[in-house]
Chain A
């Protein structure tokens, strides 16, 4: 079992434990719900605190939507949008916004989130979380779009920090500051993706703990954890959600928990899907870690 013995700065974060409780009180870890796992979850009703779905996968009248609405009776659901393209210089897609709102009304989610990114331009949807230059111009625009989306959806959004592979020369605002200012101006919350921070920090050689420290504690509404891999031909970490959470990310998560310990944590796994038990094992580990951090902080 992987437990962090040291934080990235070398400070101990918690005692080793040798037993693995099947369920912990106040468990706050959820899993991303993916189609191949739906039947297994419906049958076994595993003990996870919530399920999170990608909004765009449930906007058509599919069997998957029916399954989700059934599971919704037993689990809180978080709706995670990946295509609102809040960072687009163009207007928001009103049709998509209406579909998003209709899904929210059906699912009644505990959380609704989106990304600090853009993904559509000139009528083309690129299915990628593309980077913004972090400038005063883009901050004004992004805040306007978050305002519009929150008003249209009738919900507070959490905005997630993206994983980055590219930075613009004319960026002037550090990403954590950009997010913090967005939260301050719009009242949105922040979804802190610890794996994204880790990957971006490695890709651009910055201190991930300084990034965590720059985020406003009160705005953090959720934490994401996922796997990544090293690109074959270039020295870049790719956030692919295709493996177990890497040990250095758990270590960074321990730091995040001590700062944002109240926030529910999600295990995301979108490619190379494992057996459901593996995903649940990761969620259990996240729960244990939250428990340990609470114990250590209380001591």
Chain B
């Protein structure tokens, strides 16, 4: 004969118990939950702490793997602190943890203790783009011959779909140089006043790769990625670079296998 333990009023359902345990694991109050836990020779708070420590340690390690240069720039202890604060308010939604950290850069941009490193959030954005490129496979590219069959009067109002791994990234800081310098054991000096960057990040082989683009090309491709039709994307590019050559730019994006289809 099984004996039923009294169940606390608002702990009467599994759903509520799990909500309370979730809050406790994420660092919230656990007073009410503690009453539902057997001591077994150890305080319930200490038992909850074992689960909390595991969640924070493993998720913190995930962020460290995705943002290694951010971690190096602030050192491991500070990174662990920042990751802890981020985790509390932004636990993962996807259960595939390589997809965790999409808004870590936005968090860092608002995180007061990081205010002395104004480029840090952009380094995080850059590393997130590299992560996307390493986790999203490229699709079959559209041949320029297919594009050439589109009547000229319709081409201007076409929107193009780009490779799903590609990201465009602009910063007022030399983010790529900062990132590159931090791949070396002895970090060389980076001239932070050397200017900003416009970068294309895309899968190459099985990892993310990047390169700088001139302002016209960057404006054109960013506009396409944002879903603008060709005429509008070309206008954006000309605004950045009056000498922008649309025909040459189209040749390039098809030659690079960047376009995978026409948008609806």
Contact = CB atoms under 8 A, between A and B. Distances in A.
A235 B2 CA distance: 29
Contacts of A173: 2
A295 interface: no
B177 interface: no
A168 B51 contact: no
A63 B38 contact: no
Contacts of A122: 19, 22
Given A62-B206, A121-B19, A165-B50, A128 B14 contact: no
Interface string B34-75: 011110111010111011001100110010000000000000
Given A126-B25, A133-B14, A168 B207 contact: no
Interface string A176-199: 000000000000000000000000
Contacts of B5: 169-172
Given A121-B21, A124-B26, A130-B25, A56 B95 contact: yes
A209 interface: no
B37 A63 contact: no
B185 interface: no
Contacts of B48: 166
Contacts, number: 133
B91 A124 contact: yes
A170 B16 CA distance: 14
B37 A169 contact: yes
Given A169-B5, A236-B50, 12 more contacts: A56-B95, A56-B96, A60-B96, A88-B18, A124-B91, A125-B94, A126-B22, A130-B18, A137-B13, A166-B38, A167-B38, A172-B5
Given A126-B25, A172-B2, A238 B50 contact: yes
A128 B51 contact: yes
A170 B54 contact: no
B51 A236 contact: no
Contact of A165 (B4, B41, B51): B51
A275 interface: no
B103 to A, nearest CB: 14
A62 B22 contact: no
Nearest to B99: A60
Interface in A118-137: 118-128, 130, 132-133, 137
Interface residues of A, number: 51
B41 A235 contact: yes
B92 A124 contact: yes
A121 B33 CA distance: 15
B231 interface: no
B17 A133 contact: yes
Nearest to A58: B96
A61 interface: yes
Contacts of B35: 169
A169 B38 contact: yes
25 contacts: A56-B97, A60-B136, A61-B136, A62-B134, A89-B13, A89-B15, A96-B94, A120-B95, A124-B26, A124-B92, A124-B93, A125-B92, A127-B59, A127-B97, A128-B25, A128-B58, A130-B18, A130-B51, A132-B14, A133-B36, A165-B51, A166-B38, A166-B51, A173-B2, A236-B42
B19 A128 contact: no
Given A127-B97, A238-B50, A118 B37 contact: no
A63 B51 contact: no
B99 A66 contact: no
Contacts of A124: 22, 26, 91-93
A37 interface: no
